[in-house]
Chain A
């Protein structure tokens, strides 16, 4: 199994840390993983993206031009990455701030009201975990216990008290995933 994912949105949305937790979860279940960030003169409010690859085999290129899954969290990223999803792949997006929703019919499209759900949970910072939960519902590539271990590994110990809240956000995301288009 190889899963090639792009996660793209605004800087500050937790795009890179969502990727990191996913990557750590892969390590926890003995997979090969690569986490490749867009780094550079980007800043809060600018765009940020990260490629995460998880595989049972040695991983070749960390730089990709097409993906199994795109998780898209703003319009600029939709414009850039909708076309890069492989036919039959998955596109998950948060409709908040999306003016032009995806139009492709040859891919599986899901949406998650991540911004709203995180606000309802009382902590907008859990947004990325809500989206992660939704993704894992659409594509259960890692086990929940690996995610839990991944959180423990990637969060500094002083933040471990926040793990239950994060797990709650993941649950909420799994519960509230909406299907927009399914390829039969």
Chain B
């Protein structure tokens, strides 16, 4: 069993990065995620593992440092909160286009604009449907506990390198700021250039050798045929991700008439709501998408064949609900799909969700 600690979600991101052999972190402070870089700076990992921690002059600079370092085959990351991620959007699109692995952590706060520092899930569309320009996807992981904040750093890097695609941990201020018991992972050594090459092939710009051609990192293809070829390659990866990387969890869905669909902190709230609803004799279950892209369409479609309705519970104006509707529609099911949520940094209570189950789902 690994070392047990009581830690904040943000602190765990930093600790997990050091332990999983991350080579570099480039970031810029913003509430409610500032503890990520604070913890890294306090830990001084450059002495321990050689990991670089750098506070850049802006979010735009941070993501471009990530782009450059990722191009050399290094395991690098950044973190920010909603407005900062918007600033990074251009760089993220370039990294996806150039097919480089990296990890981006978004500890969401309320928006739009400068918004509020309170937790929110309003960046679902931004994270899963683009954010930057062009046809690209991120692998999006949504932790629901401090333990998963720890586990998904390693998993995020693993998937990012497997697909040579940026991965995102999409969390929020509630999980970032909350402390829970966490079992930390063991220390993994940082990967050498040779290990990266034997695991993922020769693509990194580590200096040309006489036995191979130049490795080129670019997202620029002026010839349309080349550009389309690059797009096709990206789309093939996304199809493979949809086939192999869907992760989700169900809770009391076996005999459920109604199913809540919620991710991250909303899913934690909904788990309690399911318990409260069950105590009232209502057969309610919960499906928690762990990967938001690839989205668990099939398990929702399967449930749609036997349940009366779904309710997406989100801390936004109703974003993931569209993906639930698509999945239910694909199953040609007549199950109703509705939404309940709060916005602007307000966290719904388990009791509010139960009321919504009764009023918006069952009575409707």
Contacts and interface: CB of A to CB of B under 8 A. Distances in A.
Interface of A: 20, 23-24, 26-27, 31-37, 39-41, 59-66, 153-154
A62 B6 contact: no
Interface stretch (B65-73, B80-88, B197-205, B266-274): B266-274
A62 B266 CA distance: 10
A64 B117 contact: no
B178 interface: yes
Contacts of B277: none
Contacts, number: 74
Contacts of A27: 4-6, 181
Given A27-B181, A34-B178, A41-B117, A63 B6 contact: no
A152 to B, nearest CB: 12
B178 A36 contact: yes
Please name the 10 residue pairs, one residue from A and one from B, whose CB atoms are nearest each other, closest first.
A61-B272, A60-B271, A65-B349, A35-B179, A60-B272, A65-B351, A61-B269, A36-B178, A39-B177, A27-B181
Which of A35, A39, A63 has the largest count of B CB atoms less than 10 A from its CB?
A: A63
Contact of A63 (B5, B181, B275, B349): B349
A60 B174 contact: no
B180 interface: yes
A33 B181 contact: yes
Contacts of A39: 32, 117, 173, 177
Interface centre among B6, B174, B177, B352 (most CB of A within 10 A): B6
B350 interface: yes
A40 B272 CA distance: 25
Contacts of A26: 181
14 contacts: A27-B5, A27-B6, A34-B178, A35-B6, A36-B178, A36-B179, A37-B178, A60-B268, A61-B268, A63-B174, A63-B265, A63-B350, A65-B349, A66-B351
- Of the four ranges (under 10, 10 to 19, 20 to 34, 35 or more), the interface on chain B belongs to 20 to 34
Contacts of A37: 177-178
Contacts of A20: 6, 179
Nearest to A54: B181
A64 B353 CA distance: 11
Given A27-B181, A35-B179, A36-B178, A64 B6 contact: no
B71 to A, nearest CB: 37
Most chain-A Cβ atoms within 10 A of its Cβ — which of B272, B273, B348, B352?
B272
Give the one of A61, A62, A154 with max B CB within 10 A.
A61
Contacts of A63: 174, 265, 268-269, 347-350
A120 to B, nearest CB: 31
B336 to A, nearest CB: 25
Nearest to A154: B6
